[in-house]
Homo-oligomer: A and B are copies of this chain.
């Protein structure tokens, strides 16, 4: 079984999903397909937004930051609220797209940690180089991917595919039979569905 994992580098709840998905998927024998895309164009096309909904509606933003803090603590993930939000993940997304699937997770995790643990500017090519080094990537290939016309076009295509699938937020998980699950808190449901085509029967509640 394979689960598509659609993430956006600026997305806050994508951070715990990025850090949790490998272990949770492996426990269920599910393969993960890492799919970077850009949420900004979808927010604009679908909701007329030019900024994150968490900035546009401050009461939702306040809640989200506190909730994210609790979620990270629950899962034992380090977290520090970044000064910049949302960050520009364009270059990081082009790099991620240029990598083979097997190389994506380590780079993607390093970038999310730069943003949500170390409060670094992930649109800065030096920060991305550092993340690439930590992920064992070739610095020259990373440099090329940031400005590659193929990656620019490829990322636009990925974003169009996301829109066609009905994606409107991140993280979103898509099962082989086309079910969408939105949000870090749907990760386990998405994996269960990928395995069994249904959700785990609830026996506790």
What's the minimum C-beta distance from A57 to chain B, rounded to whole angstroms?
5
What's the minimum C-beta distance from A94 to chain B, rounded to whole angstroms?
25
Residue pair B63, A166 in contact (C-beta under 8 Å): yes
Range class of the A interface residue count: 35 or more
- Which residues from chain B contact A202 at a C-beta distance below 8 Å? 74-76
User: Cβ of A102 < 8 Å from any Cβ of B?
Assistant: no
What's the minimum C-beta distance from A5 to chain B, rounded to whole angstroms?
15
Identify which of A79-87, A132-140, A180-188 touches chain B: A180-188
- Which residues from chain B contact A74 at a C-beta distance below 8 Å? 189, 199-202
Residue pair B166, A70 in contact (C-beta under 8 Å): no
Q: Would you give the 0/1 interface string for A44-55, flagging 1 where the beta carbon is closer than 8 Å to chain B? A: 001100000000
- Which residues from chain B contact A201 at a C-beta distance below 8 Å? 74, 76
User: Cβ of A24 < 8 Å from any Cβ of B?
Assistant: yes
Near B by CB (< 8 A), chain A positions 46-105 give 46-47, 57, 59-60, 62-63, 66-67, 70, 73-76
- Quick one: copies of this chain in the complex? 2
- Which residues from chain B contact A62 at a C-beta distance below 8 Å? 166
What's the minimum C-beta distance from A161 to chain B, rounded to whole angstroms?
14
Contact pick for A199, options B46, B70, B193, B200, CB 8 Å: B70
Residue pair B20, A205 in contact (C-beta under 8 Å): yes
Most B CB contacts (10 A, CB to CB) among A20, A46, A201, A205 go to: A205
What's the minimum C-beta distance from A26 to chain B, rounded to whole angstroms?
10
Docked CA distance A141–B175 (Å): 50
Residue pair A205, B27 in contact (C-beta under 8 Å): yes
- Which residues from chain B contact A57 at a C-beta distance below 8 Å? 46-47, 168
23 contacts between A and B (CB under 8 A): A23-B205, A24-B205, A27-B205, A46-B60, A57-B168, A62-B166, A63-B168, A63-B182, A66-B180, A67-B182, A67-B186, A70-B179, A70-B189, A70-B193, A70-B199, A73-B199, A74-B189, A74-B201, A74-B202, A75-B205, A76-B202, A187-B205, A188-B205
